[in-house]
Amino acid sequence: MYAYGWLALVIMSLWISLAAFVWGLKSGQFTEQGRVRYFPLRDQTSPVPTCDPAKLTAEVYVLLGIFICGLLIMLTPVALTIWHSVRG
């Protein structure tokens, strides 16, 4: 009975992964692979961040929403199992 919850979890995970991959392609995250592979070999310190780290950005809200959706989807089979065991 709780296979539907796991199926929903897998489907949502695939859609979220696909959306993240498409976003990465559209925003140019994979354009400079030849240059980026040498970054770990450089001896440089990281630059000082220009934004306030205490300020919540849109990315934080999106990641929080993804986390909450995943948590709800993962808890659905547990809730359904408990509900069915109490009823029957």
Which tokens is 65 given?
Answer: 């929403």
User: In Å, what is the CA distance from 48 to each residue of 19, 23, 51, 52, 54?
Assistant: 30, 26, 9, 11, 15
Rounded distance between C-alpha atoms, residue 20 and residue 12, angstroms: 12
88 domain-assigned: no
Longest dimension (CA), the chain: 64
69 domain-assigned: no
pLDDT digits (tens, 9 = 90+) for 46-80: 666 676 767 778 888 999 999 999 999 999 999 99
78 domain-assigned: no
Domain count, the chain: 1
12 domain-assigned: yes
pLDDT digits (tens, 9 = 90+) for 2-54: 788 888 889 999 999 999 999 998 988 888 778 777 777 777 666 666 767 67
6 domain-assigned: yes
14 domain-assigned: yes
Rounded distance between C-alpha atoms, residue 39 and residue 47, angstroms: 14
Which range marks the domain in which residue 5 is found? 1-27
Say if pTM beats, i.e. exceeds, 0.85: no
5 domain-assigned: yes
Rounded distance between C-alpha atoms, residue 57 and residue 69, angstroms: 19
1 domain-assigned: yes
